[in-house]
A and B are shown apart, each in its own frame.
Chain A
Amino acid sequence: AQTVTQSQPEMSVQEAETVTLSCTYDTSENNYYLFWYKQPPSRQMILVIRQEAYKQQNATENRFSVNFQKAAKSFSLKISDSQLGDTAMYFCAFIQIQGAQKLVFGQGTRLTINP
């Protein structure tokens, strides 16, 4: 069974700073996707960034980037130039490529951006 672990329950930084959220996972699969989802107070789950396990290049989406270390089963999210709107719960999630569409989520990191 796959598991996802986020070891930082809460984080807080000042606006414009850079912050890194950690995530580790465990799986025996070789082909899978990893995601970071953002859940603001509205509770709407929003995809932040996606990484295909077969790609060595780290994914980047504007201010968001990941550090994907497949051998170490690590998948951290870096937010550069943080903004007040980045305040939210962030979930790391895993899904295998073949089979049922079942996301396995970490427990989440509550990120607060302070003005």
Chain B
Amino acid sequence: KAGVTQTPRYLIKTRGQQVTLSCSPISGHRSVSWYQQTPGQGLQFLFEYFSETQRNKGNFPGRFSGRQFSNSRSEMNVSTLELGDSALYLCASTGLAGNNEQFFGPGTRLTVL
């Protein structure tokens, strides 16, 4: 079974631009969660989607948004990029095994100049 995939793997943007990151979960997984990882703040939860609905949202400004499609693929969008948005963005999918185990993708490294 293929793992979680994220595209692109690396991205360089300038302040004020917007960016869209994509995540394809493991086949059959319906829950997708997004995390931001920075040296200063560590790993922080952004939001989680299940069956195309956002179930929970972390403490991030409204510039961070996401969505999930009917095939469970998810995208997150960051508008009006700031230097502080430079981070590794990880997505994870959760199956229905009932153990809440999250399988992570390789991440997208976003650099904002």
Q: Across the interface, do B45 and A103 meet the contact criterion of CB distance under 8 Å?
A: yes
Chain A hits for B28, CB < 8 A? none
Q: Which secondary structure characterizes the binding site on chain B?
A: strand
Chain B hits for A45, CB < 8 A? 90, 92, 104, 107
Smallest CB separation, A11 vs chain B (Å): 17
Set B35, B50, B55, B99: member contacting A50, Cβ < 8 A = B99
Residue of B nearest to A42 (CB): B106
Q: Across the interface, do B88 and A102 meet the contact criterion of CB distance under 8 Å?
A: no
Tell me whether A91 is interfacial, beta carbon within 8 Å.
yes
Chain A hits for B104, CB < 8 A? 37, 44-46
Give Cα A87–Cα B106 distance, bound, in whole angstroms.
18
Chain B hits for A107, CB < 8 A? 42
Contacts A43-B88, A104-B45, A108-B42 given; does A99 touch B102 at CB 8 Å? no
Q: What is the interface of chain B, defined by CB distance below 8 A to chain A? A: 31, 33, 35, 42-43, 45, 48, 50, 55-56, 58, 88, 90, 92, 94, 99-104, 106-107, 109
Please name the 5 residue pairs, one residue from A and one from B, whose CB atoms are nearest each other, closest first.
A100-B56, A45-B104, A105-B43, A100-B55, A101-B94
